[in-house]
Amino acid sequence: MPPPESWNGKYQAVGNGGWAGSISFGTAAPQPIARTMASALKEGYATSSTDTGHKTARDGASFAPGHPEKLRDFADRAVHTMTVASKAVIAAFYGAGPKFSYWNGCSTGGRQGLMAAQRHPEDFDGIIAGAPANYWTHLMAGIVWGAQAAHKDQPGNIPAQKLSLLHDAVLRACDALDGVKDGVIEDPTRCNFDPHSLECKGNEGPACLTSAQAEAASKMYSGAKNPRTGQQIYPGMVPGSELGWDPVNGLQPLGIAESHFRNVVFKDPDWDYRRLDFDAGIALTDKTDNGLINATDPNLQAFFARGGKLIQYHGWNDQQISPLNSINYYSSVEQKLGGSTNVRDSYRLFMAPGMMHCGGGEGPNQLHPMAALERWRESGLAPGQIIAAHVTNGVIDSTRPLCPYPQVAVYNGTGSTNDAGSFSCKTP
């Protein structure tokens, strides 16, 4: 904790990634989006983090078999217990509790933030939930879907050279749809690109996709679906994200997902991702979770009623968690609570064009949502936009406003397209 003379009077808890298993100490060095204890401490907050009750292992969820209490800790109990204890320690150390308590996390940390709002609405006054892995079981299925699609008919795997080919073709088709040709797609939902248009007409070569590769790409975009009912299990990647597909398009799926099915669902150390049935297997997955890890409850009324504010952000080029998942959850809250008018005073979603998972990417990907959250919660100034920046070699070379969904940044027609001041947030 900072010394009394430099404490800002507030508490900021920070989240985890993946299966957790380690405390987010971090460093105080500048980061695209600071989510570590060191960063919070540098800004004057009292702070804490938790490993959620287990240590990181090679196989992320190997702690789970035979230990349902550890899975419950990972799901939500560890964060809640940490928060209650932290506030007590802060009160004892400073002689008073924090004036405001905040959560800051991305990925698993985003899921943890939404979980706190849903199950423990009294824990935080404001929450930053970045790229949340909140539909955990179906996210795991979506990752395996991509791996199966890439390996169904070898050589279906799309090598890096072909991913670049695909990405360049997508940009040629859709980059200029927003009126600005800058290598970033402002709203990928408007992009209708068919990867089969790149299929080789004759022999395979570096300038075309095989039919298996084109089909794999098509399934990456479509997302996981039940083969019997056609029901969407989890949304797919969006056009523009292709350069980050290696985690699911590589030789193995992202280990987080394989570990979930191996250790939590099937409890079989020899389970192979190629065996997952997207009908019966997903039904078993949902039954096994039974609402434990999934943080999909749209009823945030208790959190909002206390004055709680929630800022959620997600990169459109996220290569691990579909950005459409964030839109789906935000829309479910609107539907549950009676529409956007009843939600936007407490909850805003910001989609970041060109940003990958929790940062990085070709678009403006560095932002400070905590400052916007504090102004909202403490001064009643709702964020009409959040300025994001792109940095090359330590120098800011472009800025762009991130707009509250469903608004998008629209070029005003004059001024540099690398300057946020040249754009306005408007509803499409």
Q: How many CA atoms lie within 13 A of 173 on its CB side?
A: 18
Distance CA 324, CA 32 (A): 22
User: Would residue 270 show up in a list of annotated catalytic residues for this protein?
Assistant: no
Cβ distance 54 to 61 under 8 Å?
no
Percent of the chain with pLDDT over 90: 82
Radius of gyration of the chain (CA): 22
Catalytic position from the list 259, 289, 318, 326: 318
Q: Within 10 A of 28 (CB to CB), how many other CB atoms are there?
A: 14
Beta bridge partners of 398: 390
What gap in Å lies between CA 411 and CA 290, rounded to an integer? Answer: 46
Q: How far apart are CA 92 and CA 74, in angstroms?
A: 27
* Pairwise pLDDT comparison (153 vs 415), residue with the higher score: 415
Cβ atoms of 311 and 348 closer than 8 Å:
yes
| Structure confidence at residue 150 (pLDDT) | 83
In this predicted structure, what is the pLDDT of residue 249? Answer: 58
Known active-site residue 357: yes
Tokens representing 98 are: 């924090």
Active-site option among 357, 390, 398, 422: 357
Catalytic status, residue 164:
no
pTM of the model: 0.95
**Type of residue found at 315:** G
Partner residues linked to 10 by β-bridges: 100
| Catalytic one of 24, 86, 101, 107 | 107
Specify the amino acid at residue 313.
Y
What is the chain's mean pLDDT, rounded?
93
Which residue in 312, 363, 326, 421 sits closest to 32, CA to CA?
Answer: 363
Q: CA dihedral defined by 148, 153, 154, 157, rounded to 10 degrees?
A: -40
Instruction: Give the model's confidence band at 104: pLDDT under 50 very low, under 70 low, under 90 confident, else very high.
Output: very high
| pLDDT of res. 246 | 76
CA distance 335 to 342: 10
* Residue 52 reports pLDDT greater than 70: yes
